[in-house]
Amino acid sequence: MRKFPRWLIVVGVLVVLGLWFIGRYNGLVTAKGAVQNSWAQVETQYQRRVDLVPNLVSTVKGAAKFEQDTFKEVTEARSAWAQAKTVGDRSQTIQAAQGFDSALSRLLVTVEAYPALQATQAFRDLMTQLEGTENRVAVARKDYNDSVFAYNVRTRTFPGVIVAKLFGFSAEKSFEAVKGAETAPTVDFTK
């Protein structure tokens, strides 16, 4: 009876390990690509919102005299978004988006306090667009967080953690609610 050559067993084990390694690496690359794609969708929705809000503000300005601080905050938040987008730092972009969220929520509360503004058709149309945009932003954020979660699990669980560390795949940051987001903004017209 002929004995099976040992070198063939070693080669077989190395091939299996190599294929396993390639599969893990490709899985991490795919997950990272999903995170990047989801982030691009978030940016698309933020850009839509940033483009839409000035039109809404212009329409509202023509219909009534609004609290100037609210407009200033929206404008500053839009500028911070544009600057963060130019820099390309995801953390700074998330922070700018959260600042825009805060200014926008104050704008929406202020708008609700002026019922006469809601009488104009242009305002209603833009408000509908804004509400739809906010829903799209929420969905894009959720999808991004889902992609980040799946990717981060792959980079932190065994045996994927080995491949992730070898090739420099690091954890991604999720969107989190800004501090105080659980409290509704208040509008005080007595000042």
CB atoms within 10 A of CB 20: 12
Average of per-residue pLDDT values in the chain: 78
Given a cut of 90, whether residue 46 has pLDDT beyond it is no
Phi, psi of 57 (to 5 degrees): -60, -40
* Rounded-to-integer distance, Cα 85 and Cα 150, Å: 25
Residue with tokens 């002026």: 114
* Rounded-to-integer distance, Cα 75 and Cα 152, Å: 35
Higher-confidence residue of 110 and 173: namely 173
**Predicted pLDDT of residue 15:** 93
**Residue-range domains of the chain with CATH:** 27-167 (1.20.1440.20)
Percentage of the residues of the chain whose pLDDT score is greater than 90:
5
* Rounded-to-integer distance, Cα 44 and Cα 8, Å: 53
Residue with tokens 């829903």: 135
Give just the sign of the alpha carbon dihedral 57, 82, 132, 106: negative
- Cα atoms in the 13 Å half-sphere on the side-chain side of 154: 24
Given a cut of 80, whether residue 56 has pLDDT beyond it is no
**Predicted pLDDT of residue 80:** 82
Residue with tokens 């953390």: 91
Q: What is the pLDDT of residues 133-159, one digit of tens each?
A: 888 888 888 898 899 999 889 888 888
Percentage of the residues of the chain whose pLDDT score is greater than 70:
77
Question: What are the C-alpha distances in Å from 118 to residues 80, 108, 121, 126, 135?
Answer: 29, 12, 8, 10, 20
pLDDT range class, residue 189, cuts 50, 70, 90:
very low
